Structure 1
Amino acid sequence: MGILENLTPQWIESQYELWKEDPQQLSGEWRAFFTGFELAEARPVGAAVAAVGDEALKQSGVQSLIYRYRDIGHLLACTDPLSPCQIEHPLLSLSAFGLEPADLDKTFVTRRFMRRSATLKEILQVLRSTYCGSVGVEFMYLQDPDERQWLIDRMEPGGNRGFFTPDQRLLLLKKLKEAALFERELHKRFPGQTRFSLEGGDILIPMLDAAVTKAASLGVTDVVFGMPHRGRLNVLCNIFGMPYENMFAEFSDNAEYGVVGEGDVKYHKGLSVDLPVEGGGTIHLTLTSNPSHLEAIDPVVQGKCRARQDRIGEEGEGRVLPLLIHGDAAFSGQGVVAETLNLSQLAGYRTGGTLHIVLNNQIGFTTSAADARSSHYATDVAKMVQAPVFHVYGDDAEAVIHVTELAVAYRDRYRKDVVVEVICYRRHGHNEGDEPYFTQPLMYQQIKLRPQLHSLYEMELLAEGFPEEELKAIENEVVQRLAQAGERQAAPVESAFLARWSGMKPGVAKVAVPTSVAAATLLELSEQLSRIPEGFQPHPKVAAVLQKRRDAVIKGGPLDWGNIETLAYASLLSTGVSVRLSGQDVRRGTFSHRHSTLFDQQTGETYLPLCSVLDKGARFCAFDSMLAEFSVLGFEYGYSLEAPDALTIWEAQYGDFANGAQVIIDQFLVSGEAKWERSSGLVLMLPHGYEGQGAEHSSARIERFLELAAAGNIQVVYPTTPAQLFHVLRRQLLQPFRKPLVLFTPKSLLRHPDCVSRLEELSAGTFREVIAEPAVGESVRQVLLCSGKIYYDLLGRIRKDQLQGHALLRIEQLYPLPVEQLRDELQRYPAGARFTWVQEEPRNMGAWRFIHEPLIELLGAVPRYVGRPDAAAPASGSHRLDRVEQERIVDEALTI
């Protein structure tokens, strides 16, 4: 067709008009074309133009057809084992492209297709095989044409089918047998026990095996898994190599198997192993422990991976792979999925792409897909980050393995998330005691009649000539291993406190650790922090803050909160301890007190003063997070699990915003060590204090954390001075164990003239869990016990009105409550003194309900309560009423 390729009739007509005016205006090719038609008496130019125009339209139609099959061919893909395949779609009919059956044997130019030209029949065969068979692919929304073409070049030549050697096919059958026979053995040995069977999604086992093998071949050395309970036991044994006898011991609830702490159900537990890989060496696999809040594990896995990648360095993203397994209902239904996807390309949180496997069993507990989501696919949320999505027929084992390997290769090349959705089914109810026929009778009638996948694949291999005895030998070997495991004792459970955690101990050791830093060292650090690179132009006000901080250190004080917080980080960084600070607006600080990152006012470039004091490989990172709490706190929790030797901090914009992350707090932070023997030293900075800013900007909900505190699981601290902050942050890294630190931080006190410290308070002493200030030279008639900001309101009134007879006792650490220190301090006061607990929060909030029973035991009497009355909301929305209430609290407290 030459020059006529892809041209419209209108364009050809315009060229013809130019030829008639002056043939020299056109190229020789066009002149020859029109001259030839003029000489042909039986074919005038007008008719020729019309014929050529029709041919060009068909050629254009073929190009549109190719594009559309790539774009929406997945709508005709046969991926559902329980539904008939759709064979037609109006947008993919020949007539939609101006084509007809008579064109099937015509040859068309195909551009970047398998070859430059092909018949329409050949083109359709390739497109339907690639995009409308056992695999449907959504990828044409990718904005990078290189990514699209890379996928096309790997899908279309083989019709989206992989090539498998006989040995690979036998291995695939073996993994299917292991998956199915393991479930059968559990059912036989432990009938009726909940195991959240993988049956119906058996392909997951060979799929994960293929993913790990492919990842290892691409240089991955660590794979961190996150998955729900369904199929978890199967994965533990048949991917991670957990001995079958250990699993049987779990089911038997054998005491000698060993339960760590309070323990957890077996289908929530994790495991870490090193597995040998082809060619030598090993790959480290980690299955992260997970509660029943299914997708809550997603950001935790990302945080664990990022910590490992940071430790490795530049090659980290290529060597550490996050692999998340999801159910269809959870992936489409739980918002943390979208939050975690949104983290995937952010500088402080990216992990080089995640392999997402969605095991779509087409039902969530008893809820059908029609009632579970509004989107067409369960995976549609993944399109927000332009992740390619493969939908694959779960009973086509080889197709699943092919797209899994392709997905791993895509992640390796482009460092982006990729999704493989396996359309399968759930052979039993939600658990083995659940009756699915109650709610999905038609679905389960079909499932009942379906053979298991290992049988289907075995029949396929037999039909292709594989010896029957060879296939039966595979099954017999798996059956024998399971039977022999029942005769062996469970192997000992290995402690979690190994490798980087080997220097740590579980539990709480009551050991006083030195946290002071020499004054000379602090002066030197302050000097370094105040230096601004030549040519860098920070905001004048920020430059003044840095200079003021330096001058204050030189003079020995007063040192405010922002100054001392920075010195605390610097003192750790200069000794090789890394610091990671994350949360909304943390670089500047919500209340403009931190300024950890400076911005050049002319170029926008950044400078981190704390990076000037790094030593011994330490890193300082401060990341302003996206506007989310659930995923970001989960990420930082995961990071802390992998970095016991670093200070990892998450700061809420306001303390009460932490309730957006309550699942992470409840299910991981406060209970992870008791359930899974996984310690975390994560610090939560939660701004707290009543300044009349309403119900959503006052309370960090102290009462919630105290309610969750037990068995030494967390530390709850409400420091009242910058020096106390300095020591508690340093203590967090210097003590011989790791516990989450819930740190209530100030807002108005950041600039309060009395909320300051002296340099000597940093160079001497340590964190004081109780601070008592008895009146000197007079009889103490009342002891006011309090915690946090209310101390300054009481102190201010005492000084202003020169009140006598009042002593102030601050409890700086609310949990673990320093009972012995409290007893020692309380015994110093006269027997007739009245004891009053004072707090800003309502009576049913704050520390009162936690503290009053211990105080009764210590005092032998019920202390007086002064604070706000019981309330539904933490604070009034009226600034004036809030101030009136605050004044009333102070007045009542100081009335003897």
Structure 2
Amino acid sequence: MAEQNSLRIDGNSLSYIEAIYADYAAGAVTVPPEWARFFQSLENGSGGNGRHEPFTTLPFPPRSVFNPAAAGAPPIHAGPVQPGLDIAGLQERLDQIIRNYRVRGHILAKLDPLGSENSPPVELDPAFYGFSEEDFDRELSTSWVGGPETRTLRGIINWLKQTYCRSIGAQFMHIDSLSVRQWLQERMERTGNRIRLSRDEQLRILKRLADAIVFEEFLARKFVGAKSFSLEGAETLVPLLDLAIEKSGRQGIEEIVIGMAHRGRLNVLANIMGKSPREIFREFDDADPHLHFGRGDVKYHLGYSSDWRTSQGHRVHLSLCFNPSHLEFVNPVAMGRVRAKQDRFGDFSRDRGAVFLIHGDAAFAGEGVVQETLNMSQLGGYHIGGTVHIIVNNQLGFTTPPNEGRSTTYATDVAKMLQIPIFHVNGEDPEAVAQVVNLALDFRARYQRDVVIDMYCYRRRGHNEGDEPEFTQPAMYRVIKQRKSVYDGYLDYLLNLGGVTREEAEGMIADCRQVLERELDEARRDDYIACIDHLGGIWSGYRGGSVSEADQVHTGVDRDTCAGCLEQLIALPDDFTPHPKVKRLLKVRNDMARGERPLDWGAGEALAFGTILADGHPLRMTGQDVGRGTFSQRHAVLYDYENGTPYVPLTRIEPRHGRVEIFNSPLSEAGVLGFEYGYSLDCPEGLVIWEAQFGDFVNAAQVIIDQFIASAEDKWDRLSGLVMLLPHGFEGQGPEHSSARLERFLMLAAEDNIQIAQPSTPAQYFHLLRRQTLRRWKKPLIVMTPKSLLRHPLCVSPLAEFDEGRFEPIVDEIEIEDRQQVRRILACSGKVYYDLLEQRRKLKRQDVAIIRIEELYPLSLDDLKNVLDRYAAGTPFVWVQEEPENMGAWRYLWARFGDTVLDSYPLSVISRHESASPATGSAGSHRQEQQAILDAAFDLDS
């Protein structure tokens, strides 16, 4: 303060001002006129006093005089006033130090079990504020921070250290909301950031630590040198999860999805998920190799599901996601799964399902998908009520120390982008961990936001059991070798309290070892029957496997139903004003519904969506700009031209009204595609779609494609019906707006794992989407969708084609009747078909046929043979593609057929020359290249 009777408004006085304002806004106090005007200016956003002059000082009486009813409250200084004492200044300096402990106290917290400490920040030293030794026993007012009305300065500093500098370091002052900060302050400061545990609760923690440590010791002793990615040094993760699940059950959570990497996964499988240790031991022995020829995954990538019964009788279903070694990419997958579960049982308040994501410190800081996932957390299309992030902070990433692995103080600093608290906690203080779990779960439940628990620990062994960590961290591992286990440390603590006897503790350890010995004996019995995880639950009745097992479904919809559906989709509420151009589009679609003009691509898609919803199947579609469509072709979400209010015509569909969700996504590929893949895992009956803004951008999600979409059935026996729409086609828009990299998907295709299609008409697209939804045979579907064809006059379908027929994997020539006169067969896929068709009409050629391969994988040889049998054997079969020769479908087809298709039709290619880049950036060059392809296609000597 500048003087005793005034308060200077600056960063140091904000905590005091905020406290007064909170009481004022709640009607708990009255304030002098100057303060009322100041608060009014804050609420109006002016920051001035009504005359556009900024406030700099305010009259500063003791806080008690703000409230006439509190006349008997003690003054700021409760002791005798010394002559000349600056009471107001002393109180302001106290406010500053309290605020700075809240902001910076975590720097002094004893977080590292290995003993490293940070230098004390100068702003936490009372001397920095001018406090002298004689001030330490002076009583000051603390009525506005809760607890006693007054305390000595010494007591205040000790209280702040207990709350913010013991085994828990809290970062929360970056949160903008005053009420949220106050809630967190009250929860921590009222208790000194401690939890009171009963003897039974302490014994439960000790037992869970015993389970964890004995499991790791047993594996190391029985399977010497085998990789297990031990949890040793971080065993507190097991009681942490135990406490979190128990707390979640009390909060009404019914489903928890867990995502984690390989560190400690086997321990979690055995001691949290309830997987039988004998199954894990059997996997270590690799006793059933005949079950895994070309299939399966390593044991520390496998998932599991089980039911947990809490101590109070609540049932919580747990699902541990299968996970590749690409550590953090499981995060959006787990979130998508929970969103689907919540939608399935109508939990639109998002309070019955939760996600626990277990991270490593290096991965949390280093992997960009973490930021993508965090960014999705509060968006309407991806909100799940908050994720619990648990970081197993080994202070090491394989061999890389923090100073080489991140540019931030904490591994968690990326999470400060959200309005959430971050709790750092010493993993060797299990009761501090219990306090953090309790606080974090309460925060998530109250505010439905993410929360971060950063558990500091260490890795007792190397990155894996065959690794030597002392090669790179000799000093760290000398310290680690000298440390007792967290179990032994907590046991010593409880023994000192008299809460447990050594005999009880030894009995715990002996019981754990006995159980594991018995399980190992069972795993090695000659008559052991391996447990096969078949599809069950909501996936009962669905199947994967060979395309020969795919069910045939009727995808047509009678003409009257189609017309009625389109009419529903163009009907608008009476008070809705469409954009003039949208109004014209709706008029055109009305003509389509009446059969007066054929349907274009957008209308065909809308009809597919509408009829799928009418059949009772849910529809979810996300991606960048999917509501309108990147190319203004979809308009699935309309906006009132007068007030911007959104309206989704698909919500009008009756009678069984499948649920419809259409969300524009953040500018993210890996995160959003992972989320939708996860959603599809728990929504087999629905149509789940992710659309890329341009197909070229899908390569930013390659990890999700490689590690989940293409291989999950082979590795983990998990099915998905996810649809990926990838706009693809060469129109001279440059290297990043031409190619969805068809060749990469074809390279990943094997064992009928995925479907890759490039439909050329709206009716084909309609039948393809309906087939994907209705079939019980479930595989991911990758669709190369058009750009320029969206408005091409030839790329249309009459209403009758939506009634009759089915999706045709191979489409034969449509204009040449005498196939025996054909001297060359042009085969193609996608937009180039229409270029070839127009070129042939221009040349008036009847000796060159054009066929379309609409489903490139699985490639139907029967359908291809049925088409080619109409042509003379020996007729040249020429694959025509817009892509360079080293891209597109050509090399896939050549690898499939060799030099001759079906042993009868010589195979060759017409394409752009091989290239390192998908396309030219010159529109003129593009036109010349395209014309060269068309000329060569009809030059029988080429």
- What interval of TM-score do these two structures reach, taking the shorter chain for normalisation? over 0.9
Deviations 1:456-480, CA, capped at 9 Å, x for gaps: 1111111222322122111111111
Residue 116 of structure 1 deviates from its aligned partner by 2.2
1:829 is displaced (CA, Å) by 0.7
Distance across 2 between alignment mates of 1:763 and 1:197: 59
Among 285, 304, 320, which residue is 1:252 paired with? 285
Q: Does 1:836 align with 2:878?
A: yes
Shift of 1:87: 6.8
Alignment correspondent of 1:881: 925
Between 311-320 and 145-154, the greater mean CA deviation after superposition: 311-320
2:884/2:915 contact within 8 Å kept = yes
Shift of 1:547: 1.8
> Is residue 556–residue 759 contact of structure 1 (8 Å, CA) maintained in 2?
no
The whole-number CA distance in structure 2 between the counterparts of 1:86 and 1:114 is 30
Aligned residue number for residue 271 of structure 2: 238
Pairing 1:462–2:495 present? yes
Distance 1:276 1:134 in 2: 31
Who is 1:342 aligned against? 375
**Residue of structure 1 in register with 2:43 after alignment:** none
- Shift of the alpha carbon at 1:501? 0.6
1:776 matched to 2:808? The reply is no
> Does the Cα contact within 8 Å between 1:180 and 1:202 map onto a contact in 2?
yes
Q: Indicate how the Cα distance of structure 1 residues 134 and 471 shifts in structure 2: closer, same or farther if over 3 A, else same.
A: same
Q: Deviations over 1:648-705 (max 9, x none)?
A: 0000000010000000000000001110111110000000000000110001100000
The answer to whether the 8 A contact 1:78-1:86 is kept is: no
- Could you tell me which residue of structure 1 aligns to residue 544 of structure 2? 506
* One-letter amino acid of the counterpart of residue 560, structure 2: A
Aligned residue for 2:55?
Answer: none
In the TM superposition, what whole-angstrom CA distance separates every residue of 1:248-271 from its partner, at most 9, and x where no partner exists?
A: 101011218954971000000100
> Counterpart of 1:487 in 2: which secondary structure?
helix
Cα separation, 1, equivalents of 2:5 and 2:224: 69
1:576-626 deviation digits (Å, cap 9, x = unpaired): 111111000100000000000000011110110111004435111111111
Query: Any conservation in 1 of the 2:885–2:911 contact (CA below 8 Å)?
Result: yes
Aligned to 1:271: 304
2:901 touches 2:907 (CA, 8 Å); kept in 1? no
**SS of the residue 1:80 aligns to:** coil
1:710 to 725, 728, 750: 750
For 2:335, which of 283, 291, 302 is the aligned residue? 302
Contact 1:260-1:674 within 8 A present in 2 as well: no
Cα distance, 1:311–1:525 mapped onto 2, change above 3 Å: same
Asked if 1:690 corresponds to 2:690, the answer is: no
Residues 52/711 of structure 1: CA separation in 2 closer, same or farther (3 Å cut): farther
1:100 aligns with 2:139: no
Aligned to 2:902, what secondary structure does the other structure show?
helix
Shift of 1:838: 0.6
Call closer, same or farther: CA 1:4–1:312 in 2, change over 3 Å.
farther
Say which SS state the counterpart of residue 356 (structure 2) adopts: strand
1:327 alignment partner in structure 2: 360
Worse overlay, 199-208 or 461-470:
461-470
Alpha carbons of 1:590 and 1:442: their partners in 2 closer, same or farther (altered >3 Å)?
same
Query: How far, CA to CA, are the matches of 1:484 and 1:828 in structure 2?
Result: 68
Correspondence 1:476 to 2:510:
yes
Paired with 2:267 and 2:769, the residues of 1 have a C-alpha distance of: 42
In structure 2, how many angstroms separate the alpha carbons of the residues matched to 1:260 and 1:634?
A: 28
Per the TM alignment, residue 834 of structure 1 is displaced from its structure 2 partner at its CA by 2.1
TM-score normalised according to structure 1 size: 0.94
Question: Residue 522 of structure 2: SS of its match in structure 1?
Answer: coil
**Code of the aligned partner of 1:846:** G
- Give the conservation status (yes or no) of the 8 Å contact 1:837–1:866: yes
Q: Closer, same or farther in 2 for the Cα pair 1:430/1:402, shift >3 Å?
A: same
* Aligned-residue offset at 1:492: 4.7
Show CA shifts across 1:440-459 (max 9, x none): 10001100111111111111
Secondary structure of the 2:201 match is helix
Which digits, 9 at most, give the CA deviation of each residue in 1:72-100, with x for residues without a partner?
10011010112343473211111222322
Q: Does 1:870 align with 2:894?
A: no
Deviations 1:563-585 (A, max 9, x none): 01000000010111111110001
User: How big is each residue's C-alpha offset from its partner over 1:354-384, in whole Å with a ceiling of 9 and x where there is no partner?
Assistant: 0000111011000011000000000000000
Do structure 1's residue 182 and structure 2's residue 215 form an aligned pair? Answer: yes
Over residues 279-328 of structure 1, what are the superposed CA-to-partner deviations in whole Å (9 max), with x where a residue is unaligned?
A: 32411000000100000001101111111111222455111011100000
Equivalent position to 2:834, from 792, 796, 807: 792
- Tell me if structure 2 keeps the 8 A contact 1:559–1:756: yes
Task: Say whether the 8 Å CA contact 1:724–1:768 is kept in structure 2.
Answer: yes
Match of 2:935 in 1: 891
Which shifted more, 688-697 or 256-265?
256-265
Aligned to 1:621: 661
Determine the C-alpha separation between the residues in 1 that align with 2:6 and 2:217: 60
Q: What aligned pairs does 1:37-186 form with structure 2 within 5 A after superposition?
A: 54-86=86-118, 88-110=120-142, 111-186=144-219
How many Å apart are 1:831 and its aligned residue? 2.9
CA contact (8 A) 2:358 2:390 kept: yes
The percentage of counterpart residues that share the same residue type is 47
Q: 2:864 aligns with which of 796, 809, 822?
A: 822
Determine the C-alpha separation between the residues in 1 that align with 2:656 and 2:285.
Answer: 49
Alpha-carbon deviation of 1:66? 0.9
Moved more, 535-544 or 202-211: 535-544
Match of 2:51 in 1: none
User: Is the CA contact (8 Å cut-off) linking 2:562 and 2:611 kept in structure 1?
Assistant: yes
Q: 1:6 to 1:495 in 2, by over 3 A?
A: farther
Q: Label 1:260 to 1:112 Cα distance change in 2 as closer, same or farther (>3 A).
A: farther
1:517-666 superposed matches below 5 A: 517-555=557-595, 557-666=597-706
Residues 780 and 806, structure 1, Cα contact 8 Å, conserved in 2:
yes
Confirm or deny that 1:801 pairs with 2:838.
no
Q: Are the equivalent residues in 2 in contact too, given 1:784–1:837 (CA < 8 A)?
A: yes
Cα distance in structure 1, aligned partners of 2:767 and 2:683:
20
CA distance in 2 between counterparts of 1:849 and 1:739 reads: 24
Q: CA–CA distance in 2 between the matches of 1:634 and 1:155? A: 36
Other-structure match for 1:767: 807
| CA distance in 1: counterparts of 2:774 and 2:681, whole angstroms | 17
Q: How far off is 1:4 after superposition?
A: 6.8
In the alignment, which of 769, 791, 794 is matched to residue 729 of structure 1? Answer: 769
Say whether the 8 Å CA contact 2:874–2:906 is kept in structure 1: no
Cα distance in 2, alignment partners of residues 351 and 623 from structure 1: 15
Distance in 2 separating the partners of 1:75 and 1:405: 22
Aligned Cα RMSD in Å?
2.2
Select the residue among 217, 222, 225 that pairs with 2:258: 225
Q: Return 5+ residue gaps in structure 1 as ranges.
A: 16-26, 34-47
Match of 2:40 in 1: none
Distance in 2, matches of 1:368 and 1:827, equals 66
- Aligned-residue offset at 1:276: 1.1
Q: How far 1:557 moved relative to its partner?
A: 3.5
SS at match of 2:577: coil
- The count of aligned residue pairs is 863
Give the C-alpha shift of residue 861 in structure 1: 5.5
Tell me if structure 2 keeps the 8 A contact 1:516–1:727: yes
Deviation per CA, 1:126-145: give whole Å up to 9, x if none.
10001000110000111112
Corresponding residue for residue 464 of structure 2:
431
| Structure 1: distance between partners of 2:120 and 2:863 | 79
The aligned residue for residue 23 of structure 1 is none
Deviation at 1:52, TM superposition (A): 5.7
Instruction: Tell me, yes or no, if the aligned pair for 1:596 and 1:609 is still in contact at 8 Å.
Output: yes
Q: Which piece of structure 1 moves more, 452-461 or 355-364?
A: 452-461
TM value normalised by structure 2: 0.89
Q: Does 1:811 align with 2:853?
A: yes
Corresponding residue number in structure 2 for 1:18: none
Q: For residue 247 of structure 2, give the secondary structure of its aligned residue in structure 1.
A: helix
